[in-house]
Amino acid sequence: MLERSTLLSAIRELMAGFLAITMVVLFLLLVWRAIGSLPSGNAGTDFTPVKELLALVNPTIGVIVGYYFSRVTSEARAERAEATAETAGRVAQDSSQAQVAATQRAQSATDGAQEGAIQCAV
C-alpha cells in the first residue's frame, strides 16, 4: 500500500495537471470561438474585440502553465536534495561509528602494550 504522503503527492500532481490541461483547453476553445465570431469577409474585418479578449486571457494562461511547470521542476530538485542530504547524514553517521570503533581498538591496543611492557619489566 502507498504511504499517505506519496498518495497525497500523487493526488496533488493529478489535480494540478488536470487544472493546467483544462485551462489550456478552455483557452483554445475561447480563441476558436472568438475567431469564429469574426465577420466572414476580408474587407473591413475588425480584430479589436478578439485582440482585447486575448490580451486579457493570455497572461492568465501563461501564469497558470508557468506555475505548473515551475512547481514540478522545483519539487523534483527538492526531492533530489533531500535524498542527497539523507545519504550524507548516513555516511557521516557511519564515519562517526567507525571512528569510535577505531578509537576503542587503539585504546585496547595501547592498554595491551602497556600491560606487556609492565610484565616484561618485572
Return the HEC string of 43-64: CCCCCHHHHHHHHHHHHHHHHH
Q: Where are the domains of the chain?
A: 4-38+45-96
Structure confidence at residue 1 as a pLDDT band (50, 70, 90): low
The pTM of this model reads: 0.46
3-22 pLDDT, tens digit each = 777 787 788 888 877 887 88
DSSP state at residue 2: -
**Which amino acid does the sequence have at 85?**
A
77-114 pLDDT, tens digit each = 888 888 888 888 888 888 888 888 888 888 888 877 77
Torsion angles phi and psi, residue 95, rounded to 5: -65, -40
